Structure 1
């Protein structure tokens, strides 16, 4: 009888990080990145090269509370992880990775805490793809309106000189929800579509801060920061409520684009379908949307 057990295991990890000391997610030679730190730690533990596929790349300075990635590893290495302990392979991997990243944070001059943490690790079906199986990504942008809300201990908040018109921002945001070509709000990559479905864009005050929420099936490079920068201009009264829609319809990335700073932005959560739909969703997400020329 031929065995149907795969010789490799697909592992899903969830991680969080403070982006202040990272040059973004994607590995870059000679630079400290989240992907580079995690892949080095995983390779040390599993004793084979590891390549991570991530749900959503984050720019330099952007944080994450619920980032998701996957990698493939030989089943022999995976099942040998706990050794003689009672931990599951996933629990053992989390403990070991976090011990290595804590040491790496100290070596990078970050004392007293770890700026990247793996929160969970588990085997998933081979059809799972952290990027293409995702249904949506959700971000939060944090702002403090005026000196009363400025806190030097918070490195994830944009300091604004005064209060914004949140009602105007929400009305303007409603006009650009749905599936559109967001070229005006993106830094396009060669050969990639800029069509996205924006499910949610709204603003509210909570905990002494102004919070901007954005959720979409996926985001182009710098899209969330451009959305936030555009809506802040509306809130300041510098631009009218109709301006964001006009920018969208222009389908042109020009000098009018406003990109908000990265440090107040956090990737909060990634949404996935049931396990039985991982492969189907991945196929749907890979379809090209937009012009072919």
Structure 2
């Protein structure tokens, strides 16, 4: 799979590359960033999944992740949040369509031809980065924010053979039980809520998925405007307790849903993953 490097930047003693490649899953070109430490590798790496309206650039610019990645010798991959371009379905709302792929494989028109983000992240993206850069495919984790936190949790729980660690910032833990989930999953997957269950972290834990993980780290700001209506971390705590599983939810007083929150605790997440990779 050919990867085109669009630009390269020196950051915290490593190389940050903005890249593009053609995805068979989405049928479109897709963009991602990859940061690698200096050296021959192969390096363990983390896949970051961003939230609504984001691209491959938001986390790269705002999170402050690379100083921590350099300390631990971990590479970072950050893909775009959806397919884009002419002929790709879209919606005027910020929480559906381009920039809002929800990391599912859509089955409904007009989304199904291109909105195959679950397959993209678990297939084409990993193949592209492991083929083009000195990354160790046996040592990788996944994390994300909000919609991307939902993506990280569900992808890891469904694919523990691919990922050794998982964490999230302010994730949508149960799309089955929030307005964002109602809107996006009904559009992408149709009205049968049974089809939504494989994309709900709480349901996956209830169904015994991802028992291989010794812990899942979640940080949640208590000043987050979406906390009570959309995010509901107490649901994943309850699911984990019932299943006898470890999920650590840290509630952070005064922090909101923004990258200010992410940048404050990103070092803790890198350390969490480094201990497992």
TM-score, normalized by the shorter chain, greater than 0.5: no
**How high is the TM-score relative to the length of structure 2?**
0.28
Higher relative contact order (CA 8 A, sep 6+): 1
Under a length normalisation based on structure 1, what TM-score does the superposition of the two structures give?
0.27
**Greater Rg over alpha carbons, structure:** 1
